[in-house]
Amino acid sequence: MKKTGIVYATKTKHSEKLAKAIGSALDVKPQNIDSRPRFTGVDLLFIVGGIYGGESNEKLVEYVKSIDPAATKAVALVTNCASGRQKQLSVRRILEGNGVQVVDEFVCKGAILFVALRHPDKKDLANAVDFTKTVIGTSMEH
């Protein structure tokens, strides 16, 4: 059985909502980066976060620098932001620079004030769960 982990950073609980939906679907307990979780022997780590001023949550940018490529084989990003389009480019760059493979990224809307109101919604959560299952299927079943 391959080992999966989930870690998230959140300011307004949207990423936590996504991480919990994924966690219950995969039966994996999501870890808040505030507890500085250390993963060992993980085949695939889902990293969940929002976008602030075009960048990933700054706490997440710091956290990913500590991810050890020997302990985490691959990462998939789960992102939410007002536009529903912006990706976590610096997080990806840091991980890849440290030799951690980033297999894919899912992006959905995450509300800010009246923009993207009510997102991530039920459909976003379902899409995120589908994404994680697809990634697990394609990146781990061999």
51 binds ligand FMN, rule: CB under 6 A: yes
88 binds ligand FMN, rule: CB under 6 A: no
Applying CB under 6 A, the span of 8-16, 20-28, 62-70, 123-131 interacting with ligand FMN comes to 8-16
Residue of 66, 83, 134, 138 that binds ligand FMN (CB under 6 A): 83
x/- mask, ligand FMN, residues 99-118, rule CB under 6 A, reads: -----------xxx------
How many other CB atoms sit within 10 Å of the CB of residue 5?
A: 23
Kindly list the distances between the CA atom of residue 67 and the CA atoms of 6, 16, 34, 98, in Å, as whole numbers in the listed order.
13, 20, 14, 8
How many other CB atoms sit within 10 Å of the CB of residue 121?
A: 15
Using CB under 6 A, list all residues that contact ligand FMN: 10-15, 50-54, 57, 80-83, 86, 110-112
